Amino acid sequence: MSAFKIESCFGADINVGYFDVEEILDIMKIKSQVLGSKRIKSLIRMHGKKDRIVGIAMRQVAFEVLRTSLDEAFLPYDPYFNDGTLLNSRRERLYDAQERFLILCMSLVAGRSVRSLKKLNPGLSTKDLRSKHGRGQSLFRYFRQELNEQTREQVLSYKARMNNNMEGADGEAKLTEEMAAEQKARAALMKKAPKDTRFIPTSFDDEVVTGLKIFRDGHELLAQQVESFKRGQQLDVEALKKFCRRLIDSHTRNNFAVMALRHIKDADTYLEQHAIGMAVLGIHFAKAMQLNNAYVEVISLGALLFDLGRFRLPAAMMAKTTKMTDGEFELFRKHIQFGEQILQKCESVPKAVFQMLYDHHEKVDGSGYPEGKQGQEISVYGKIAAIIDAYDAITSEQAHKPSMGPIKACAKLEREAGLAFDKDLIKVFLKSIGPVPVGSCVSLSNGRIGFVLTLNKNFQPNLVRQVYSITSKAFIEATDIELNKSANLKSDVVIEEGVDPQDYGLQFINHIS
């Protein structure tokens, strides 16, 4: 059986209109290898070719076949590449083959046709995928983990179905000898492994992969909920709670990854992303306050929902790049009332969520709105909401203003302690994110500029992703450096100061994954 060659994808027609696993395998010329594997043959005998689990297994086996090719080095991303031109050189033909190959892999992971992927993501690019190898990351692991996330629910459903079949009195649909052996081996491993794997710590890069999927799902869920309440329907509170639990699990595995992903925002869909960003900050804040899981879930749900009323404001007003007029600001204030109308139609919304909605624009000195509450008149949930709302807003790129940056944002919040924000709560929040938070742009003593990815136990920067050379005044291949690891030969590298990424044409969102 011949090994797969990426060059076989050169010039292939990948823009099919619907998703068909076999067609993709045929384009890659690995269809016979996948269908000929013992696992796929066994599943087809048991369930037939059209069963959903067979399609998922075929995608899994496909990546096993492609593993060696995925872990090879790829040519650097070329933003000027045009597959519509005549490709004369071997390098151009190889780049074309790699481009089609990587996009087909994206299609296999997403379970969508290439045409559908491009429609959903007009800026679809292989830039990040091509750079992963240079950062020592495995594309095989990336794609398999992403596929696992995409198909988790279907696989769990299949396992439940098989367990029910095995327990039947007649022993119907028994596993084949091969499948039974596989299940026995897995069961033996599970006895040694923790019962719940959701909370096993992961690396920053691995959790970013999972987190991106969670964020995309959250964005889609919020968009659906907005359409629902605009039609006068209730929110799906249970689905929203389930999403918050996924965020909490991700934060538990690697809190730095989701705190970094919070920075990814598009001006066109800012409100959805702002809501998810606040949910992440709410989780982080609640854990810093050492609250139990029930409170963490409630605060994350409230953070996700308390700004929903803004979706009822005129889109043109929310997207304008100039300061609001007095009339527009008066209308803006009504988003609290609009949010209340949305939540009142729903069942099972915790009281704390309403308190976060009512009080997130109140200030402890009484200068806030809608009621001008002071000090203890403001609920603790409202005080929490005010802090995470402000921090996420001022560290985000918006249509009317750029990000202030995490370091300057911390200084601003600290200055407003006792005025806009509760002094004690601000102290807890700022300690939990550190004086140089995740996402901060810093200059290093080795002459490079980088972004802080993780913190150590003392809340000081630990892992920094270097992306720019001050010496050569040029972008560099992203490389991570651990600042406080004594075994590191470059352990003498230290942070010199925080810098404005815009001075160097940098944005954190372009370097997270």
Q: How confident is the model at residue 318 (pLDDT cuts 50, 70, 90)?
A: confident
pLDDT number for residue 487:
44
**What is the DSSP annotation of 176-208?**
PHHHHHHHHHHHHHHHHS-S-GGGS---HHHHH
pLDDT number for residue 486:
46
Higher per-residue pLDDT: 44 or 490: 44
Distance, C-alpha 319 to centroid of its chain? 24
pLDDT at 347 over 50: yes
Which distant-in-sequence residues (6+ apart) come within 8 Å of 288 by Cβ? 428, 429, 431, 432
Average pLDDT over residues 232-250: 95
- What span, in angstroms and rounded, lies between the C-alpha atoms of 29 and 266? 38
pLDDT number for residue 186:
46
pLDDT number for residue 323:
83
288, 243, 490, 277: which is closest to 397 by C-alpha?
277
pLDDT number for residue 489:
46
Average pLDDT over residues 94-103: 91
Range from 226-230, 291-295, 487-491 carrying the lowest mean pLDDT: 487-491
pLDDT number for residue 77:
87
Q: How confident is the model at residue 86 (pLDDT cuts 50, 70, 90)?
A: low
Distance, C-alpha 470 to centroid of its chain? 30
Kindly report, residue by residue over 383-426, the tens digit of the pLDDT. Answer: 999 999 999 999 987 766 778 899 999 999 999 999 999 999 99
pLDDT at 163 over 90: no
pLDDT number for residue 141:
86
Q: How confident is the model at residue 216 (pLDDT cuts 50, 70, 90)?
A: very high
Q: How confident is the model at residue 165 (pLDDT cuts 50, 70, 90)?
A: low
Q: Are 434 and 460 in contact (CB under 8 A)?
A: yes
pLDDT number for residue 191:
52
Higher per-residue pLDDT: 145 or 297: 297
- What span, in angstroms and rounded, lies between the C-alpha atoms of 404 and 126? 30
What whole-number percentage of the chain has pLDDT above 90?
A: 56
Range from 294-298, 437-441, 490-494 carrying the lowest mean pLDDT: 490-494
pLDDT at 27 over 60: yes
Query: Residue 237 to residues 57, 233, 275, 281, 329: CA-CA distances in angstroms?
Result: 33, 12, 15, 20, 30
User: Tokens 């995608």 — which residue?
Assistant: 59
Kindly report, residue by residue over 447-477, the tens digit of the pLDDT. Answer: 999 999 999 999 999 999 999 999 999 999 8
pLDDT number for residue 270:
85
DSSP assigned state of 489: T
pLDDT number for residue 60:
93
Average pLDDT over residues 68-93: 79
Mean confidence (pLDDT) of the chain: 86
- Residue 98 corresponds to which tokens in the numbers above? 């790699």
pLDDT at 168 over 60: no
Q: How confident is the model at residue 178 (pLDDT cuts 50, 70, 90)?
A: very low
pLDDT number for residue 372:
94
Q: How confident is the model at residue 152 (pLDDT cuts 50, 70, 90)?
A: confident
pLDDT at 66 over 90: yes
**What is the DSSP annotation of 430-469?**
HHHH-SS-TT-EEEETTSEEEEE--B-TTS-B-EEEEEEE
pLDDT number for residue 189:
46
pLDDT number for residue 164:
57
pLDDT at 182 over 60: no
User: Tokens 């925080």 — which residue?
Assistant: 498
pLDDT number for residue 174:
39
Average pLDDT over residues 431-445: 96
pLDDT number for residue 157:
73
pLDDT number for residue 432:
97
pLDDT number for residue 333:
92
385, 384, 413, 409: which is closest to 395 by C-alpha?
409
